[in-house]
Amino acid sequence: MTERGTNKDIQGTILEIIRMSTEDGPGLRTTVFFKGCSLGCSWCHNPESISFKPQIQWIGTSCIGCGICVSTCPEKALEKSEKGIIINRSLCNGCGLCAEECPSTAMELLGKKWDVHDLACELVKDRAYFEQSGGGVTLSGGEAALQNNFCITLLKELKDRGIQTALDTCGQVSQEVLASLLPYVDILLYDLKEIETEKHKKFTGAGNEKILANAIFAANYKKTHPSLKALWIRTPVIPGATDTEENIRGIGDFISANLQGAVERWELCAFNNLCRDKYKRLGIDWQFADTELVEKSVMEELSLVAKSTVTPSIVCWSGSARLEQRKNDKLTGKTENSGKSIP
Amino acid sequence: MSTVSASEHAIKEPRGLSARISWLRDYYFQGTKRAWNNEYTSWTTGTPWDIIYNELTFYIVPETYTLLNTLGASYLQAARPVVLHPYFWQWPQVERRAWFVKEVIVNHVPQEMLPGDLLAGARFNIQTSMCFTKEESQEWIRQVKGKNGARAKMKWFHDHGYGNAGATSGHLVPGYERLLKIGWKGVYAELLSLFNALDSKDRLGAKGAQLKAMITASTMARDLALKYKELCIDLSAREKDNLRKDELSRMAQNLSKVPWEPATTFWEAVQALWINHMLVLTDENYPGAGVSFGRFDQYLWPYYQRSINDGMDREFAKEILKCFWVHSNTAYDAMIRNGNQGITAGFGQLITLSGLGADGKDMTNDLTYVILEVIDEMSPILEPKPNVRLHRNSPEELYDKVVEMIESSQGAPFLLNFDERSMAGMMLEAKKADLTHLINKDNVHEYAPVGCLENTMVGNDRSGTVDNNLNLLKAVELALTGGKDLLPFTDPMTGKTQSPKQDGPPTGDAATFKTWEEFWEAYVRQTQYIIQKCVNLYEASESIRARFFPTPYLSCMVRGCAQKGQDVTQGGAEISFTTLEAVTYATTVDSLLAIKYLIFDKNACTIEELVAALKANWQGYEVLQATAKNRAPKYGRDDDDADALARQVMNLWCEETWRHSTKSTGRRYRPGMLSWNYWAGDGFIMAASADGRAKGQFLSNAICPSNGADIKGPTANANSVGKVLGGKAKDAQGDWEDYLNELPNGASHTITFNPSILRDPVHKDKFKAFLRGYTINGGTALQINMLDPGMLKDAQDHPENYRHLLVRITGYNAYFTTVGRELQNEVIERISHNKF
């Protein structure tokens, strides 16, 4: 497949490629999830994307119980028990031999090496759908920008092929790296999670100084570079963490003061618990395992707070709110809300 | 399989119906409780050797095999004798048949009218005598039921997992449009002049007999309409309600004119169309499977416009159409006592809506929307089945309506046909069969699908769109065994087991094959063999139909028949292909991919081990089965390497198909992909397959990837389909612009979506973009289903069958089977109530 010799040696660690994604930017998209992140958000719904290292997971519903993985593992890190395969993570070095030998794909290696040109070829397959929808390719993660050389080469090739690109970033990257990527990005999806740096550090493992500075840099970049067509801010609404009025107001004030005019959309993303089993599979205790979804009324209130701080039309919220008990209440706020507030 | 009760989720309900239509619709759904119905009545010449019931037309319906004798005998026992014309037995059989059918429907079957109905033409389902002499009867019995007769051949073919074939009724678009324009009067005049132009020898021969039979048939609709006219006059005289009285007298006026004279108004046109159509079902003794209306919103448009200009209310036009919808559904009454309103499967009286016109122009008009509204307001209702033709210039408004209806019906209440790809296939068949004078770039847009999605031209085309259904997978089985069945066959009736005999060509002991190419070579030879075998089987019923079962009334509406003096069943149509439908395509491709992967690429097992595993239905070979299922490549993932083998399978099979023609009727074979319900039923007949499928599990459906194989989502799935159909021509020299399509008959493709894709305007736009993308990358036709709670509950119970099932709850995608039970339940709850 590789035609471009110069790109041959550049490899990236990719977790997953999702085709026909409807959630990672405008239109229909192919989203590439990079492995490895510069933050470690306690609520992360892609916990397998945080570590750079390849990891093994076992999917019980797929397993036929043949035990081939156990006998294959050179590190003796796997054990067959009544509950299924137990992975001793202190012994597992992520070599992936068990996943290679598993007949049922119950053992899965998270994180695969991709040659940049091969990846680009894979990503352009839905060009027809991109063109009909105003969509394209989104680099997400993890934090894609951490694999910056790979990202630049990939983005360049995608742009050469006329593909619209989006970068979904947490902002915790050096400004130099961000500056090197932005020329090849059409849409920047940028997370602002928590306005108080101490809390930010507590929730994500890092303060927010760099993130806020990069946000200002990106907004200014957009004002002077028409190649960057849109900047979307995303704020996760996490119960007991980021779901406070002060936080939303603080982020709103920050946007208003520093990013004014550059932000096309500010999306409040409701906490998601569908990843609960991912934590189980990775053998991680998750502090949000028993947290319920956010109530619709909370999302609506926070949206009002958000709207009071910035141009109201840029605010919307997304995600699943807690199911209401009343059966006759057929529509969620989602249906009424999003779409209308998106310019 | 677990199911959910109806109350757990919203089911579409009809809306906006007038009292008249509500009553008619509700009455229809009372089924067997109705006082009136359209159940078959049967009619005999009264001879002791009479035969009623053309069983050949059911050879493609395996469910009926055990009933063939019973049905034939029952119709005879229940048959009422008809006093015959004094010269009846002096006529050739085709003339006898034409006279008999007309006599029965005009003078014996009662004319009736349901309250409030705006269209005449109620009872039409009849089973009529074949009108045989004693000698003809004996010959028919010998050819059909004899030791090597058509039925025995068909049974063997089906029992051994090859599939089925039979000369089947319906499945065409008669020349309805032309008939509205010239009336039966015009057809009658044309037939007379053609008869008069025959020389005296021909007049006394087969051509003369055919034309005389058609002349008789061409007055059937006129005479029946006049009877209904009398009924309307009579009802009107007795009617107290002035409005209804007026309606009935206007109906009488309509019937005094159409369908004999050309139609002028919309009401006349719909009335004429209904009678002309229902009499096809009468003539064929067959309740409508695939007798399709063609471009309904196009040819009715001038009448609609004229009437609207003359002051017809748009709602009244819908009222007339809604009556038409109720009438179409009464086709199912034929075997109403089967239960479920007699509905065993959609009969596919298909209407085509929208689509391209000349010069790339979109042909959507107000009538298109009127009809879509009718469907929306009447749904759920089965007939007539709509097929909406989309193309790259389809208007936004049409996409909006389509999406709105998909949303409200939890799945599309219609099929979608895609013009560019479909037309490329029609152009290909023209090229292959030297028919470019009949199908070319100037008229190919006039094509219309029949039945479900089987593309044909209109008014001059009978292409046997469902007549041959071959399990391609059989060739893989024979290649593995060197030409024998993998499993012994046990006759369920006698309990006797026959050990496998050499049947296919001896392609050698597969265990000695050193390379994949050797195996492929064996597969090629076995494929050639099974196609030849299917062609031979079809010939048996095709030749019997051509000899014994003329349909002179239908022949009047198919251009070519009158000109050639040949019945449509004898290949009289100008365009007269028969179609070979490949069944089990993806299972076949995936089995070949698995054999290549397991044996030649990975050395995971030997051929002997694989054959032993398949014989054992994978029992004791679970690791090998899991490897075949999960590790071997699959078609449907937009994987260029796997799809390349899929292309090879497609090419081979298409090339072989084009090589054949029927002997008795000279109909060329053309390829298509439709598997009706065979992919489910034949899964219990065919042995385990190398793709990891066990015996008893479903085979793949039409051109769809195997169940659970499309793990890359709808775009990858659609791309694979478009690719194996031929994709785009590299040099832009495709068969229609740059499009290629190996399957002129079309390819049935179904994709199931998560309903959250339609949850708000932004996502609806994304879904519309998917459909627009499909016109570029996808196949010829698409059925859109929406994930329902029942399927998710089944996935909880049988996760192994649903590993591809991606649920997309805003902002997050997860494979349903990999999330815990509790969260699964929540997803089900959300989908049940459209809460995303």
Locate the chain B residue with the closest alpha carbon to A46.
Answer: B812
pLDDT of residue B716: 97
Which of A48-57, A285-294, B27-36, B823-832 has the lowest average pLDDT? B823-832
Distance CA(B768)–CA(B774), nearest Å, equals 10
Residue A48 gets which letter from DSSP?
G
Mutate to test the interface with B, among A20, A57, A123 (most CBs of B within 10 A): A20
Work out the mean pLDDT of chain A and round it to a whole number: 90
Residue A24 gets which letter from DSSP?
S
Distance CA(B373)–CA(B397), nearest Å, equals 13
Distance (Å) from the alpha carbon of B714 to chain A's nearest alpha carbon? 7
CB-based contact B835 A22, cutoff 8 Å: no
Question: What are residue B488's phi and psi, to 5 degrees?
Answer: -65, 150
pLDDT of residue B830: 73
- Tell me the pLDDT band of A324, cut-offs 50, 70 and 90: low
Locate the chain B residue with the closest alpha carbon to A59.
Answer: B818
- From residue B388, how far is each of B303, B355, B372 by CA, in Å? 21, 7, 9
The H or E element spanning position B2 is none
CB-based contact B622 A64, cutoff 8 Å: yes
- Tell me the pLDDT band of B42, cut-offs 50, 70 and 90: very high
- Tell me the pLDDT band of A340, cut-offs 50, 70 and 90: very low
Distance CA(B40)–CA(A129), nearest Å, equals 50
The runs of H, that is alpha helices, within B379-515 are 396-408, 419-432, 473-481
A102 vs B832, higher pLDDT: A102
Model confidence at B536: pLDDT above 50? yes
- What is the radius of gyration, based on Cα positions, of chain A? 21
Chain B positions touching A70 (Cβ under 8 A) are none
- From residue B286, how far is each of B108, B170, B283 by CA, in Å? 18, 8, 8
Q: Mean pLDDT, to the nearest integer, of A271-290?
A: 89
pLDDT digits over A163-202, tens only?
A: 999 999 999 999 999 999 999 999 999 999 999 999 999 9
pLDDT digits over B590-603, tens only?
A: 999 999 999 999 99
Chain A positions touching B799 (Cβ under 8 A) are 61-62
Residue by residue, DSSP assigns B340-372 as GGG-SS----EEEEE-B-GGG-B---HHHHHHH
Distance CA(A73)–CA(A92), nearest Å, equals 9
pLDDT digits over B158-195, tens only?
A: 999 999 999 999 999 999 999 999 999 999 999 999 99
Locate the chain B residue with the closest alpha carbon to A326.
Answer: B833
Q: Contacts for B693-696 with beta carbons within 8 Å, 24 or more apart?
A: B693/B587, B693/B629, B694/B617, B694/B618, B694/B625, B695/B487, B695/B617, B696/B617
pLDDT digits over B321-362, tens only?
A: 999 999 999 998 988 887 554 444 557 899 999 999 999 999
Chain A residues 210-249 with a CB less than 8 Å from chain B: none
CB-CB contact of B668 with B542 (8 Å)? no
Residue B704 gets which letter from DSSP?
S
From the list B627, B638, B809, the residue facing A320 with the nearest CB is: B809
Please enumerate in sequence order all residues whose Cβ is within 8 A of that of B152, keeping only pairs 6 or more positions apart, or say none.
Answer: B145, B146
Q: Both tokens of residue A176?
A: 């130099």
From the list B712, B803, B834, the residue facing A62 with the nearest CB is: B803
Work out the mean pLDDT of chain B and round it to a whole number: 93
CB-CB contact of A146 with A38 (8 Å)? yes
CB-based contact A276 B819, cutoff 8 Å: yes
Please enumerate in sequence order all residues whose Cβ is within 8 A of that of A12, keeping only pairs 6 or more positions apart, or say none.
Answer: A34, A113, A114, A116, A119, A147, A150, A151, A154
**In this complex, how many residue pairs, one in chain A and one in chain B, have their CB atoms less than 8 Å apart?**
149
CATH 3.30.70.20 fits A55-110, yes or no: yes
pLDDT of residue B819: 77
Distance (Å) from the alpha carbon of A274 to chain B's nearest alpha carbon? 7
Mutate to test the interface with B, among A274, A277, A288 (most CBs of B within 10 A): A274
B727 vs B680, higher pLDDT: B727
CB-CB contact of A190 with A251 (8 Å)? no
Q: Is the ipTM of this complex over 0.85?
A: yes
Separation of CA A126 from chain center: 20
Superfamily name and number for A5-51+113-337: Aldolase class I (3.20.20.70)
Q: Mean pLDDT, to the nearest integer, of B613-631?
A: 97
Which of B114-118, B201-205, B705-709 has the lowest average pLDDT? B705-709
Look at strands B415-418 and B385-390 and give their pairing.
parallel
Q: How many residues does chain B have?
A: 836
- Find the angle CA(B558)-CA(B559)-CA(B564) to the nearest 5 degrees: 110
CB-CB contact of B414 with B449 (8 Å)? no
pLDDT of residue B314: 98
Mutate to test the interface with B, among A45, A69, A104, A286 (most CBs of B within 10 A): A104
Distance CA(B445)–CA(B426), nearest Å, equals 9
Tell which residue, B23, B239, B255, has the closest CA to residue B117: B23
Chain A positions touching B811 (Cβ under 8 A) are 23, 269, 272, 318-319
Helix, strand, coil tally for chain A in percent (to 5): 40, 20, 40
CB-CB contact of B779 with B739 (8 Å)? no
The most confident of A119-133, A323-337, B405-419, B483-497, by mean pLDDT: A119-133
- Tell me the pLDDT band of B818, cut-offs 50, 70 and 90: confident
Distance (Å) from the alpha carbon of B74 to chain A's nearest alpha carbon? 52
- With 0-12 / 13-18 / 19 or more C-beta atoms within 10 angstroms meaning exposed / middle / buried, residue B303 is buried
Q: Mean pLDDT, to the nearest integer, of B494-503?
A: 93
Q: Both tokens of residue A55?
A: 């990891």
Residue by residue, DSSP assigns B618-684 as TTT-HHHHHHHHHTS--TTS--HHHHHHHHHHHHHHHHHHHT-B-TTT-PEEEEEB--TTHHHHGGG
Q: Contacts for B179-183 with beta carbons within 8 Å, 24 or more apart?
A: B179/B259, B179/B272, B179/B276, B179/B557, B180/B259, B180/B262, B180/B263, B180/B269, B180/B272, B180/B273, B180/B299, B180/B303, B181/B262, B182/B262, B183/B258, B183/B259, B183/B260, B183/B261, B183/B262, B183/B263, B183/B272
- Tell me the pLDDT band of B797, cut-offs 50, 70 and 90: confident
pLDDT of residue B380: 81
Amino acid at A197: T
Distance (Å) from the alpha carbon of B819 to chain A's nearest alpha carbon? 6
- Tell me the pLDDT band of A291, cut-offs 50, 70 and 90: very high
- With 0-12 / 13-18 / 19 or more C-beta atoms within 10 angstroms meaning exposed / middle / buried, residue B359 is exposed
pLDDT of residue A9: 62
B759 by DSSP, 3-state: which?
coil
Chain B positions touching A325 (Cβ under 8 A) are none
Q: Mean pLDDT, to the nearest integer, of B668-676?
A: 94
Distance CA(B336)–CA(B279), nearest Å, equals 19
CB-based contact B770 A318, cutoff 8 Å: no
Q: Both tokens of residue B798?
A: 């049988």
Percentage of residues in chain B having pLDDT higher than 70: 96
pTM value surpassing 0.90: yes
pLDDT of residue B642: 98
A282 by DSSP, 3-state: which?
helix
pLDDT digits over A28-41, tens only?
A: 999 999 999 999 99
- Tell me the pLDDT band of B680, cut-offs 50, 70 and 90: confident
pLDDT digits over B354-373, tens only?
A: 999 999 999 999 999 999 99
- From residue B192, how far is each of B260, B460, B521 by CA, in Å? 15, 20, 56
From the list B715, B818, B830, the residue facing A20 with the nearest CB is: B715
First to last CA, chain B: 25
Distance CA(A65)–CA(A81), nearest Å, equals 10
Percentage of residues in chain B having pLDDT higher than 90: 82
Any B CB within 8 A of A104 CB: yes
A339 vs B298, higher pLDDT: B298
Q: Mean pLDDT, to the nearest integer, of B491-506?
A: 92
Sign of CA dihedral B339, B342, B343, B345: positive
Separation of CA B621 from chain center: 39
Distance CA(B201)–CA(B224), nearest Å, equals 33
Mutate to test the interface with B, among A15, A18, A22 (most CBs of B within 10 A): A22
Q: Give the 3-state DSSP-derived string for B125-194, with helices as H, strands as E and coil as C.
A: CEEEECCCCHHHHHHHHHHHHCCCCHHHHHHHHHHCCCEEECCCCCCECCCHHHHHHHHHHHHHHHHHHH
Distance (Å) from the alpha carbon of A133 to chain B's nearest alpha carbon? 5
Model confidence at B489: pLDDT above 60? yes
Distance (Å) from the alpha carbon of A221 to chain B's nearest alpha carbon? 27
Separation of CA B486 from chain center: 31
Mutate to test the interface with A, among B640, B762, B821 (most CBs of A within 10 A): B762
Please enumerate in sequence order all residues whose Cβ is within 8 A of that of A168, keeping only pairs 6 or more positions apart, or say none.
Answer: A24, A25, A31, A138, A139, A140, A141, A144, A189, A191
Model confidence at B492: pLDDT above 90? no
Distance CA(B584)–CA(B275), nearest Å, equals 39
Distance CA(A292)–CA(A315), nearest Å, equals 24
Chain A residues 301-340 with a CB less than 8 Å from chain B: 318-320, 323-324, 327, 330-332, 334-335, 338-340
Q: How many residues does chain A have?
A: 343
Locate the chain B residue with the closest alpha carbon to A328.
Answer: B833
Residue by residue, DSSP assigns B642-654 as HHHHHHHHHHHHH
Distance CA(B834)–CA(A320), nearest Å, equals 12
Any B CB within 8 A of A101 CB: no
From the list B622, B719, B799, the residue facing A66 with the nearest CB is: B622
Distance CA(A142)–CA(A49), nearest Å, equals 5
- Tell me the pLDDT band of B710, cut-offs 50, 70 and 90: confident
CB-based contact B627 A103, cutoff 8 Å: yes
